[in-house]
Amino acid sequence: MRRAIGVTISERVSAGMVEGNRLTGSLQAYPGEGCSSDELLSMPADGIAECIRDQVLAAAGEEPVAAVGVGFPGIIRGGVLEESPNLQQVKGTNMRRLLTEMLAERGLDAPVSIYNDADIMAAGLAATRGHLDRMVRVWTLGNGIGYGQYPWSEGAWEGGHMVVSLDPRERYCGCGGEGHMEGIMGHRAMRLRFLDMEPEEVFEAAGKGDARCAEFVARWHRALAAATASMIHLGGPGKFFLTGHNAIHVELPLLNRYLNDMVKMSPLQGYVFEIVPGGDEIAVIGAAVNAERSASA
């Protein structure tokens, strides 16, 4: 089995060595536990690249490395970060070239691949669940909303910005677009919508019968159903994994009822949801798996 290093950038930079679809050793992370995760938000693009390089080198040690895979939030094409709303300072950076050069200067000569962070989560779930022989799709429900797919294929894949509402008042998405899924379901968007309540409080109040909150929770589930229905109509039925810190709020019976109202053609009705834990370890494995497969192609 060839060794590859996976990296994910979320609230911190996490890296690890992967062999045989399993993490070997412990994750390397910056900033460490107990430190502020806001540091990356103010760090210039070169600084983020240096941070990634350092974590990759720490994960590699003296072991040979076949490939390095890195997951970033945003739109990535040919190793260039064309758009990254959560890390706006890296927009336009050719991160693949920059990291390749930085690693080579320190003696690590391995191909570097850059992926969307939701795509590496899909690959990680496929690898750890023995699903590398089939298509895996995942919604990541967090501060933003991500859509990931395995096997990886070229594309923008900004599923969280899918239009699920024609109401012009729906403008809570961080990108400024109207009617976006993320503008309804994203953690940041929910905080803007309910200035007097945290998202967790909204779901709790809905369960206790608060009419305003219950109406929103229904809209939240309908947004996820609408986006999933679009993916089913384009890519066919199958399993959709749900992960991220807001996946705990998903009521599967309600979600399935709404989706059943939206998908009526019988060949497309073989779908199922599964709520799963994600986390940095799964993402790191996915980044390494994608990179190793790319290097072997």
Q: Show the CA angle centred on residue 211, arms to residues 208 and 217, nearest 5°.
A: 80
Backbone angles phi, psi at 23, to 5 degrees: -75, 130
Sequence-distant (≥ 6) Cβ neighbours of residue 149 within 8 angstroms: 119, 122, 135, 136, 137, 138, 157
> What pLDDT, on the 0 to 100 scale, is given for residue 34?
56
**What is the CATH code for 4-122+279-296?**
3.30.420.40
> What pLDDT, on the 0 to 100 scale, is given for residue 148?
96
Other beta carbons within 10 Å of 67: 24
> What pLDDT, on the 0 to 100 scale, is given for residue 57?
96
**What is the CATH code for 131-275?**
3.30.420.40
**Residues carrying CATH 3.30.420.40, the chain:** 4-122+279-296, 131-275
Q: Which residues of 185-203 are buried (b: 16+ CB within 10 A; e: fewer)?
A: bbbbbbeebbeebebeebb
Instruction: Tell me if 71 sits within 8 A of 115, measured CB to CB.
Output: yes
| Alpha-carbon gap, residue 220 to 180, rounded angstroms | 11
pLDDT tens track for 58-116 = 999 988 999 999 999 889 999 999 998 778 889 999 999 999 999 999 999 999 999 99
What is the pTM (predicted TM-score) of this model?
0.91
- Residue range 211-236: mean pLDDT, rounded: 97
Residue 171, pLDDT above cutoff 90: yes
Residue 23, pLDDT above cutoff 60: yes
Which CA distances in Å does 102 have to 48, 106, 132, 250? Answer: 12, 7, 31, 42
Helix-helix angle 252-262:211-235, to 10 degrees? 50
